[in-house]
Homo-oligomer: A and B are copies of this chain.
Amino acid sequence: MTEPATVAPGRARGGRRDEILVTFTRHVAERGYDRANFGDVASELGLSKGTIVHHFGTKDRMLAEVQERYMRRALDEARAFLARLDRPEHRLAAFVHAGVRYQTDDPATTIAFQREVVRLTDEPGMETARAQRDAYRDLVVGVLRDGEAAGVFVPGDARLRSLQMFGSLHWMWTWFDPQGRLAPEAVAAEFCRTLLRGLGVPETAVAEAADPDGPAAVCAREVVGS
């Protein structure tokens, strides 16, 4: 039962901590935060509940750490592909390609984040993650406004449009199966086409931005697949 496994005492310092967080994240993704519990995580890793408490203190803080890690990565990568793309339709498409790709690249963290997003709004101790989420949304709103100013997108409410787009992406966790027949590239392409066409982008530019081998998708893949 003890399953020593620690085999290398001198090694893996702090590696345990990451293991715990990864397992906890998977449990949150599968059952939701409320039903995820220390006991199951501990027994799966062959540790005691006390160890988890030692590393993280409280359950709240564990979730906060999951959210912050996810958002920090998303923010970093978003800034990276924004720096590499200049056309508004490519930039917006990259957000979609990247957002879909997270579903297969790191499904556990992505699902854990998306199904517990609501806790960012009210729960205390989530200020950092909330600020990161707002910053991310502002990046998208900025792209929408820039595109509008440049005449690439037809005029409209950029904030509402960003929420419409995030809704489609954040809802994916309820139906998308990473192991399923439907390839993430196909989903991203279809979402890009409908979205960009809906913003008034000309058909040829839509096709290029949605293309899984086009500049936006390639850039997103390179940045995310690091």
Distance in Å from the Cβ of A199 to the closest Cβ of chain B?
7
Distance in Å from the Cβ of A155 to the closest Cβ of chain B?
11
**Residues A174 and B34 in contact in the complex (CB < 8 Å), given A168-B168, A195-B194, A197-B200:** no
Instruction: Tell me the number of copies of this protein.
Output: 2
B164 lies within 8 A of A190 (CB)? yes
Residue of B nearest to A161 (CB): B194
List residues 128-160 of chain A with CB under 8 A from any CB of chain B.
154, 156-157, 160
A193 lies within 8 A of B156 (CB)? yes
A198 interfacial by beta-carbon distance below 8 Å: yes
Residues of B within 8 Å of A115, CB to CB, are 118
Which of B164, B197, B199 is the one whose CB lies under 8 Å from A168? B164
Distance in Å from the Cβ of A171 to the closest Cβ of chain B?
3
Chain A contact-residue range equals: 35 or more
A174 lies within 8 A of B118 (CB)? yes
Mark A residues whose CB is within 8 Å of B. 32, 34-35, 115, 117-118, 121, 154, 156-157, 160-161, 163-172, 174-175, 182, 186-187, 190-191, 193-200
Residue of B nearest to A173 (CB): B118
Bound together, the chains give a CA A176 to CA B116 distance in angstroms of 17
B197 lies within 8 A of A157 (CB)? no
Bound together, the chains give a CA A197 to CA B198 distance in angstroms of 4
Bound together, the chains give a CA A154 to CA B198 distance in angstroms of 12
Residues of B within 8 Å of A154, CB to CB, are 197
Which of B32, B170, B175 is the one whose CB lies under 8 Å from A171? B170
Residues of B within 8 Å of A166, CB to CB, are 171
Residues of B within 8 Å of A167, CB to CB, are 167-172
Residue of B nearest to A197 (CB): B198
B190 lies within 8 A of A198 (CB)? no
